[in-house]
Amino acid sequence: MKISASYWMFEGGLEAEKPIAEAMQEARDLGFDAIELAVAGQGVLTDHTTQAQCEDIVATAQKIGIEIASVASGESWTCSPTANDPEHRAKIIDFTRKALQVTRWLGTDAYLFVPGAVDVFFLPDAEVIAYDVCYERAGEAVKQILPAAEETGVAICIENVWNKFLLSPLEMRDFIDSFNSKMAGVYFDVGNVLLTGYPEQWIRILAERIKRVHVKDFKLSFGTAEGFVDMLEGDVNFEAVKEALGRIGYDGYVTAEVLPFKPGRLKKTADAMKRIFK
């Protein structure tokens, strides 16, 4: 497996202000094989980034000696595919179609997609969507985006996140299978699932549907978002995770997503990733 770092981990990354070349160089210097870039509505990489600009990023990555593992986006949190406002739903679908093209120009084939939310835990004023309505709207959104995914060859990778939605591996499996497309898959997050399940069980059940993997650690005694801690300081059984990934034949990128930025955290994470996966 190849170890990767999320662009969001770097200082200024969550704000989409960190120069991509600097982030790639820092990641390489720390021993990461790859970096996951992030596309947003504004900042250094957006849905309006041109093919030429993407080609420059790819050329810089090649010069540095680092791969681009995937592309992520958090736009769906604030402009949700399951929002009550149909204009919001149409806007994020248009954004995602464009972001898939940007992803293709960056030379990778996986795009992290948050399909909507029943509830947004870090936005107390966000609307609450009924679970069945969320399920229906999320499915419709993916169906509308899939033609662009199939045209670009970039998979829509639906992540298990704290959105009170797709709460079991069986439901996630069936949701993915309902699209009957190899371009719909899972971006499995090891740490996100620990509060309510076992990562190794999710991995076994989701199997070949897993296109990419996020890793972070979580301390169960907290039970809230405060429980996300540095790698190897929580309760994730990384040996079981690594074994489960091996059993399903996963040999792709494992991307650290340990947030927010703190001085020294990147090196600490890189050391832990090498210890676990190398």
* Cα radius of gyration (the chain): 17
pLDDT along the chain (278 residues), means of 10: 98 98 98 98 98 98 98 97 98 98 98 97 94 98 98 98 97 98 98 96 98 98 95 98 98 97 97 96
Residues paired with residue 46 on neighbouring β-strands, in sequence order: 40
Q: Are 182 and 153 in contact (CB under 8 A)?
A: no
**CATH number where 103 lies:** 3.20.20.150
Q: At a CB cut-off of 8 Å and minimum separation 6, what does 72 contact?
A: 6, 7, 8, 36, 37, 38, 39, 111, 112
The β-bridge partners of 158 are 113, 186
Report d(CA 81, CA 227) in Å as an integer: 28
Number of domains the chain contains: 1
Q: Nearest-CA neighbor of 111 among 146, 63, 65?
A: 146
Query: What integer pLDDT is reported at residue 278 of this predicted model?
Result: 87
Q: What is the pTM of this model?
A: 0.97
- Phi (first) and psi of residue 189, to 5 degrees: -105, 115
Which pair of structure tokens corresponds to residue 141?
A: 């959104």
Q: Can you give the pLDDT at residue 194?
A: 96
Q: Is the dihedral of CA 32, 38, 43, 47 positive or negative?
A: positive
User: What residues make up the domain containing 168?
Assistant: 2-277
